[in-house]
């Protein structure tokens, strides 16, 4: 049974983690997983002098899977700092992947339609560089030493081409290797080498500044994967996610590698946003990104049912938004519980009408908003795709409407025996063609207003 290290966080980060964990319940996802929790709240990091962060990292190295909530980073020098740097270093994290995608009802910018993944370095480059200043006469000089390693450049390039292969997309962009052929050119060299290893993946290298300009000028009609240095990727991912109108439809993945085979050994998924303290306790923060982080994590489990659940979560979240279940940041009035109930995986059933089956068992589930059992709920089958059913559910208590995606395992339900309905009798037209011609003839020479026509009762049409 797969084990996931769950890294708890602060403020709305923890609230949204709690919502996301609901779809990992085996009764919902159909996937048996064990959760091992670690309290990475600021108070506990201080109390343990960051020992809990090291313990969580070691657990992720053991299990290979981690799910992290957003955490607070104190600004006081000498405090515990951010746990991210410790986690990345301890699990061998070399690559961060953030994917922007269209959210139904949210207009994108610059004609962006297809998904865009930014594959960036997770270590080195400008972050963690040594900095100092020196006085030179009347002037002051600032210095910084940066480094990148070929192994990290190779990991970024290789994963970018693998991501493009999975997305049926194109590797696009690159560093400013013309200005920095030694430093930034190392990533370009590894991109070119990866292109030779993956001849079936389309490759269009561009300088980083041209990449920004082309994204805004020509958009994207095919999936793109953009490999970057660390700081370039930090900036690029912020731009890319906002091109889709919101960062809500994206998740952030840290990939750790061991050895030269470039296969992921550790995967940690999280939301790309912070803890949003102003929204804490108000039940209005958007859990989409955290739920998508769960979906992404399941896709890395070598199990067909986990991959199926991953796809179902992705589809059901966006289907729920398409049908109008939205938090305020997406132009809706929903609370986050409404989006946090996107999926149910049903056990095997045979020869039963699907809506009857759901209605009989709906009382076992609670409404995501009022938390009352979904007894006597309204159901509407919106779509059927093989053994996957998209169903609109209306709570009989609080009258909230949301969408669930149900996947049937086993025999498909037989269609109920229903007498064929008689075809409806076409209604008589409100006015016949002859009557319309008579009206036209009568009004041909009339020059008054419409009001005059209504007042002239003696006029026959």
* 425: in domain: no
- CA–CA separation, 213 vs 229, rounded Å? 18
- The reply to whether 115 and 184 lie within a common domain is yes
Evaluate whether 255 touches 159 at the Cβ level (below 8 Å).
Answer: yes
Cα-Cα-Cα-Cα dihedral sign, residues 44, 45, 49, 53: positive
Bridge partners of residue 389, in order along the sequence: 384, 406
CATH (domain of 33)? 3.40.718.10
Length of the chain: 461
The conformational region for residue 110 under phi > 0 = left, psi -120 to 50 = alpha, else beta, is left
Which residue, chain included where needed, has tokens 């400008």?
Answer: 126
Q: Tokens in use for 323?
A: 């049908």
Which residue, chain included where needed, has tokens 């270093």?
Answer: 89
Evaluate whether 255 touches 97 at the Cβ level (below 8 Å).
Answer: yes
- CA–CA separation, 295 vs 24, rounded Å? 9
Evaluate whether 285 touches 136 at the Cβ level (below 8 Å).
Answer: no
- The reply to whether 5 and 104 lie within a common domain is yes
What is the domain range of residue 187? 109-243
- The reply to whether 24 and 87 lie within a common domain is yes
What total of structural domains would you count in the chain? 4
- Residue 320 is predicted with a pLDDT of 82
Cβ-Cβ contacts under 8 Å for 355 (sequence gap 6 or more): 379, 381, 391
- The reply to whether 98 and 196 lie within a common domain is no
- The reply to whether 224 and 238 lie within a common domain is yes
3-class secondary structure per residue, the chain = CCEEEEEECCHHHHHHHHHHHHHHCHHHHCCCCEEEEEECCHHHHHHCCCHHHHHHHHHHHHHCEEEECCCCCCCCCCCCCCHHHHHHHHHCEEEEEEEECCCCCCCCCCCECCCEEEEEECCCEEEEEEEEEEEECCEEEEEEEEECCHHHHHHHHHHHHHHHHHHCCEEEECCCCCCCCCCCHHHHHHHHHHHHHCCCCEEEECCHHHHHHHHHHHCECCCEEEEECHHHHHHHHHHHHHHCCCHHHCCEEEEEECCCCCCEEEEEEECCCCCCHHHCCCCCCCCHHHHHHHHHHHHCCCCHHHHHHHHHHHHHHHHHHHCCCCEHHHCCCECHHHHCCCEEEECCCCCCCHHHHHHHHHHHCECCCCCCECCCCEEEEEEEECCEEEEEEECCCCCCEEEEEEEECCCCCCCCCCCCCCCCCCCCCCCCHHHHHHHHHHHCCCCCCHHHHHHCCCCCC
- CA–CA separation, 41 vs 280, rounded Å? 14
* 300: in domain: yes
- The reply to whether 305 and 267 lie within a common domain is yes
Last residue of some domain: 298, 328, 358?
Answer: 328
Choose among 25, 50, 48, 45: nearest CA to 35: 25
Residue 82 vs residues 56, 73, 272, 412: alpha-carbon distances, Å: 14, 5, 15, 50
- The reply to whether 459 and 370 lie within a common domain is no
- The reply to whether 121 and 226 lie within a common domain is yes
- Residue 128 is predicted with a pLDDT of 79
**What phi, psi does 452 have (nearest 5°)?**
-60, -40
pLDDT < 70 regions, the chain: 259, 261, 333-354, 356-357, 360-361, 363-364, 371, 386-387, 407-461
- The reply to whether 113 and 239 lie within a common domain is yes
Greatest Cα-to-Cα distance within the chain, rounded to the nearest angstrom: 104
* 120: in domain: yes
* 115: in domain: yes
- The reply to whether 237 and 264 lie within a common domain is no
Which residue, chain included where needed, has tokens 């009352």?
Answer: 372
* 422: in domain: no
- Residue 418 is predicted with a pLDDT of 41
Chain-centre distance for alpha carbon 228: 21
Last residue of some domain: 300, 328, 356?
Answer: 328
- Residue 57 is predicted with a pLDDT of 96
- The reply to whether 380 and 450 lie within a common domain is no
Q: Are strands 170-173 and 202-205 parallel, antiparallel or unpaired?
A: parallel
- The reply to whether 15 and 128 lie within a common domain is no
- Residue 415 is predicted with a pLDDT of 42
* 338: in domain: no
- CA–CA separation, 261 vs 158, rounded Å? 10
Four-point Cα dihedral 227, 230, 234, 240, nearest 10: -10
Last residue of some domain: 216, 243, 270?
Answer: 243
Evaluate whether 327 touches 285 at the Cβ level (below 8 Å).
Answer: yes
Bridge partners of residue 108, in order along the sequence: none
* 342: in domain: no
**What phi, psi does 282 have (nearest 5°)?**
-100, -5
Evaluate whether 351 touches 408 at the Cβ level (below 8 Å).
Answer: no
Bridge partners of residue 390, in order along the sequence: 383, 405
Choose among 389, 393, 347: nearest CA to 372: 393
**What phi, psi does 317 have (nearest 5°)?**
-60, -50
- Residue 342 is predicted with a pLDDT of 38
* 404: in domain: yes
């Amino acid at each position: 049974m797969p084990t996931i290290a769950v890294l708890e966080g602060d403020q709305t980060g923890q609230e949204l983690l709690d919502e996301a964990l609901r779809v990992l319940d085996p009764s919902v996802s159909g996937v048996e997983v064990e959760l091992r929790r670690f309290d990475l709240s600021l108070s506990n990091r201080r109390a343990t002098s960051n020992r809990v962060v090291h313990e969580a990292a070691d657990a992720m190295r053991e299990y290979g899977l981690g799910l992290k909530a957003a955490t607070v980073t104190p600004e006081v020098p000498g405090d515990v700092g951010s746990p991210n740097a410790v986690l990345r270093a301890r699990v061998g994290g070399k690559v961060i992947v953030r994917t922007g995608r269209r959210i139904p009802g949210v207009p994108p910018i610059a004609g962006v339609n297809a998904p865009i993944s930014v594959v960036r370095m997770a270590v080195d480059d400008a972050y963690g560089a040594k900095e100092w200043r020196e006085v030179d006469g009347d002037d002051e000089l600032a210095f910084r030493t940066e480094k990148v390693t070929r192994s990290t450049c190779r990991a970024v390039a290789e994963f970018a081409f693998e991501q493009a292969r999975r997305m049926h997309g194109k590797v696009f962009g690159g560093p400013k290797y013309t200005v920095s052929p030694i430093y930034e050119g190392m990533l370009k060299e590894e991109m070119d080498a990866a292109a030779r290893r993956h001849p079936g993946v389309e490759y269009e290298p561009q300088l980083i500044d041209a990449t920004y300009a082309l994204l805004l000028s020509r958009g994207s009609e095919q999936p793109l994967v953009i490999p970057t240095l660390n700081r370039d990727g930090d900036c690029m991912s912020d731009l890319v996610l906002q091109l889709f109108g919101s960062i809500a439809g994206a998740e952030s993945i840290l990939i750790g590698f061991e050895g030269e085979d470039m296969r992921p050994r550790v995967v940690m998924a999280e939301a790309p946003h912070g803890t949003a303290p102003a929204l804490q306790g108000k039940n209005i923060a958007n859990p989409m990104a955290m739920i998508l982080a769960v979906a992404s994590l399941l896709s890395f489990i070598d199990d067909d049912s986990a991959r199926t659940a991953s796809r179902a979560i992705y589809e059901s979240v966006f289907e729920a938004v398409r049908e109008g279940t939205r938090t305020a940041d997406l132009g809706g009035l929903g609370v986050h519980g409404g989006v946090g109930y996107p999926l149910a995986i049903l056990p095997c059933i045979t020869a039963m009408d699907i809506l009857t089956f759901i209605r009989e068992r709906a009382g076992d589930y609670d409404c995501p908003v009022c938390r009352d059992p979904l007894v006597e709920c309204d159901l509407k089958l919106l779509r059927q795709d093989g053994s996957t059913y998209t169903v609109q559910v209306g709570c009989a208590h609080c009258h909230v409407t949301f969408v669930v995606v149900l996947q049937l395992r086993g025999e498909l339900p037989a269609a109920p025996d229903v007498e064929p309905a008689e075809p409806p009798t076409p209604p008589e037209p409100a006015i016949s063609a002859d009557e319309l011609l008579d009206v036209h003839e009568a009004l041909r020479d009339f020059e008054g207003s419409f009001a005059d026509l209504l007042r002239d009762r003696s006029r026959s049409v």
